[in-house]
């Protein structure tokens, strides 16, 4: 609990000028801490791990079954098209991901997924817009094949390994990355608008009129606050959309690089949310919950954002994560519930 009362963060100086679907919701609500890229390839892993097969079938149904059946051929075709030597696989959740080597000896990562609308196209568009600033570079993209060729972050250790002993270092890494990622959307940007997520709160209240699986008062307040925050956004920028400790990898080109962006445009404060309740949001841990106040203040100071907006966005995102889980038929994570209850008392 917040034994020291309200957060102590000061109202910051004015922000510096910024430099210029359905699957996504199911994916985000499924398990926020499950990485699609680990810090090291797995040895002797099966071509199609059971967790990948299960998630693909549950998410894409018959289309997913066809994709799984064609996956060995797809890997061979894409490797031939881009002249890649395929190495060991990474940990997988919703996409097939492996280490590869290009013909010139450059290490890279190959990522394949079903070719439905949205997800991979949004990731590719976001990475293309980031252009290597704060995120791995997009080296090639084939939308028809559902294939992305990505820069490999090395050594690639996830920021989760800094928590809890060096939690401040993990938060500092996230702040540094976000300051690079947040820039004006390019002209004719096709990425979804953050405001589109407002329907999630309304749909949840229609489907669940009571307090199960998420207390209605939390959903109602988060929905109202979401609308208010979007309407008062100080600026609109490219957002990662799902930045958490497993999507931050140590690198050499930059100290840290982000992976797996969802790609959305909106208030920069939205990107702090998942950083407050990760890593391991399914695990209830009082030690990690006790880190929330310090994270809030560090994020507010580092991103030059009023602490009240950071608290509000962290609350909204914690509730939204629960709403996504309920939408998928799952059980909202314990820590997102704890964090939302903790922050509710600190809302402006």
Q: Which helix (H) or strand (E) holds 11?
A: none
Full-model pTM: 0.87
For domain 50-151, say whether CATH 3.30.200.20 is its number: yes
Same fold, 50-151 and 158-344: no
Domain boundaries, the chain: 50-151, 158-344
For residue 192, the 8-state DSSP code is: P
Query: Above 80 in pLDDT, residue 36?
Result: no
Lowest mean pLDDT among 2-6, 188-192, 287-291: 2-6
Question: What's the token pair of residue 39?
Answer: 């810090």
Using CA atoms, how far residue 105 sits from 85, 97, 102, 108, 149, in Å, is 9, 19, 5, 9, 14
Q: What digits encode the pLDDT tens for the residues 212-263?
A: 999 999 999 999 999 999 999 999 999 999 999 999 999 999 999 999 999 9
Higher pLDDT, 91 or 304: 304
Question: What's the token pair of residue 232?
Answer: 């008062």
Query: Above 80 in pLDDT, residue 39?
Result: no
Q: What is the C-alpha separation between 250 and 6, in angstroms, rounded? A: 33
Residue 190 makes CB contacts below 8 A (sequence gap 6+) with 125
B/e letters for 260-285, b = 16+ CB within 10 Å, e = fewer, are bbbbbbbbbbbbbbbbbbbbbbbeee
Q: What is the mean pLDDT of residues 163-181?
A: 98
Rounded to 10 degrees, what is the CA torsion of 293, 299, 301, 302? 150
Other CB atoms within 10 A of residue 121 CB: 19
Q: What is the C-alpha separation between 312 and 247, in angstroms, rounded? A: 23
pLDDT for the residue 119: 84
pLDDT for the residue 11: 29
| Phi, psi (rounded to 5 degrees) for 135 | -140, 160
Other CB atoms within 10 A of residue 259 CB: 26
The string of DSSP letters for 224-272 reads HHHHHHHHT-S--EEE-S---GGGEEE-SSSSEEE-----EEE-GGGGG
Best CA proximity match to 319, nearest among 343, 301, 296, 299 = 343
Other CB atoms within 10 A of residue 15 CB: 14
Q: Which helix (H) or strand (E) holds 57?
A: helix 50-81
Q: Which CATH class is domain 158-344?
A: alpha beta
173 pLDDT band, cuts 50/70/90, is very high
Higher pLDDT, 41 or 22: 41
pLDDT for the residue 46: 64
Q: What is the C-alpha separation between 3 and 6, in angstroms, rounded? A: 9
Q: What is the C-alpha separation between 257 and 177, in angstroms, rounded? A: 7
Residue 18 makes CB contacts below 8 A (sequence gap 6+) with 182, 183, 184, 235, 237
Q: What is the C-alpha separation between 143 and 331, in angstroms, rounded? A: 33
Contact 204, 323 (CB under 8 A): yes
| Phi, psi (rounded to 5 degrees) for 7 | -60, 145
Residues forming beta bridges with residue 90, ordered by sequence position: none
pLDDT for the residue 59: 86
């Amino acid at each position: 609990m917040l034994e020291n009362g309200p957060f102590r963060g000061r109202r910051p100086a004015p922000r510096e000028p910024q430099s210029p679907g359905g699957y996504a919701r199911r994916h985000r609500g499924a398990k926020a801490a499950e990485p699609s890229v680990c810090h090291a390839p797995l040895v002797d892993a099966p071509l199609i791990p059971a967790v990948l097969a299960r998630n693909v079938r549950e998410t894409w149904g018959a289309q997913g079954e066809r994709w799984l059946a064609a996956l060995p051929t797809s890997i061979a075709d894409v490797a031939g098209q881009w002249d890649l030597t395929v190495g060991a696989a990474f940990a997988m959740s919703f996409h097939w991901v492996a280490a590869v080597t290009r013909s010139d000896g450059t290490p890279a990562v190959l990522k394949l997924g079903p070719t439905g609308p949205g997800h991979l196209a949004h990731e590719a568009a976001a990475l293309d817009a980031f252009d290597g600033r704060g995120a791995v570079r997009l080296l090639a993209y084939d939308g028809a094949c559902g294939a992305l060729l990505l820069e490999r972050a090395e050594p690639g250790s996830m920021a989760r390994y800094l928590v809890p002993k060096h939690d401040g270092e993990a938060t500092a890494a996230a702040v540094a990355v976000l300051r690079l990622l947040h820039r004006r959307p390019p002209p004719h940007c096709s990425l979804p608008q953050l405001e589109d997520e407002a329907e999630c709160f309304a749909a949840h209240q229609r489907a669940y009129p009571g307090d199960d699986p998420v207390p209605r008062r939390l959903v109602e307040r988060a929905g109202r606050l979401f609308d208010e925050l979007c309407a008062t956004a100080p600026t609109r920028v490219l957002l990662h959309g799902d930045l958490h400790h497993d999507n931050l990898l140590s690198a050499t080109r930059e100290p840290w690089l982000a992976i797996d962006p969802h790609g959305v445009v909106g208030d920069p404060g939205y990107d702090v949310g998942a950083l407050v309740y990760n890593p391991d949001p399914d695990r209830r841990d009082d030690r990690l919950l006790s880190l929330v106040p310090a994270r809030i203040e560090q994020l507010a100071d580092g991103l030059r954002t009023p602490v009240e907006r950071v608290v509000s966005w962290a609350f909204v995102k914690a509730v939204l994560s629960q709403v996504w889980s309920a939408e998928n038929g799952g059980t909202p994570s314990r820590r997102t519930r704890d964090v939302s209850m903790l922050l509710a008392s600190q809302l402006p």
